[in-house]
Amino acid sequence: MTGILGIIGGSGLYDLPGLTDTGWVAVDTPWGAPSDEIFMGTLQQGDKASRLAFLPRHGRGHRVPPSEVNYRANIAALKQLGVTDVLSLSAVGGLRADLPPGTFVVVDQFIDRTFAREKSFFGTGLVAHVSMARPVCPRLGDHVQAGLAALGVPHVRGGTYLAMEGPQFSTLAESQLYRSWNCDVIGMTNMPEAKLAREAELCYASVAMVTDFDCWHPHHDDVTVEAIIGVLLSNADHGRALVVQAAQAVTHDVHAAGCSCRSALQHALITSPTARDPLMVERLRTIAGRVL
């Protein structure tokens, strides 16, 4: 085993057949508590075992709204547990007619329209700037795409995720604006999650599961609650199957150690060593210890 796969998503993702050595682990971080305890387990596939860590993004029972998720604590907790790769699964609205409900989009770009969230581990006393030009891990994306193809799940490789603040959904004017920007899906949770994963030198992939068309669609108001719930349940089943399908490839990838995501901080620290705040340095040991 070369890594530990962390999965951030809905509460039901950890209900996998064959998952053993399981238990909930409470983790405290310098940024407070994550959304919930983290469910650890081992998935045995043939002669290979994959260690997995599941974090309910909104807490069990969906208690925490998107703007109040402690994204820094979530990523830090996974890092502290030894997670090396993060697979983010999230429900989204579709902004294109050819991405109907039930489609999975392996996201490769983001537009961040959130404004009420802490977006960095770094700050006064220790400044860092990481590149977000390519915000997801292409190696991890390859494994995800292969898993979706093997399962026969309708999917698209590549797409732009518009991250909005919420918790309210878009106005019609906003939805039309985002379509004019060539965004593909819209959601409320992948930012600053992806930014923090990059700062923590974790490989990160985002799988956006389309549940409905956003309000731009002329028949949006005709969609029933029952139809949306049906798509949600189907997406959850496919999400669990994807985790099983991709786990072995991700956690036993011999090329993972050389992935550029894992050296994202190599030239990112700007504050000179003599000017660094000792308290900030200590706080950031888990996140940036490799370069501190």
Active site residues: 212, 214
Upstream peptide bond of 192 is cis (omega within 30 degrees of 0): yes
For 257, the token pair is 């150690």
- Tell me the DSSP string of 57-100: TTTTTT-S-GGG--HHHHHHHHHHTT--EEEEEEEEEE-STTS-
d(CA 190, CA 194): 6
Q: Contact at 8 Å (CB) between 162 and 189? A: no
State the DSSP code for 292: -
Cα 122 to Cα 269: distance, rounded to the nearest angstrom: 9
| Strands (DSSP E) found in 120-247 | 155-157, 160-163, 185-187, 203-213
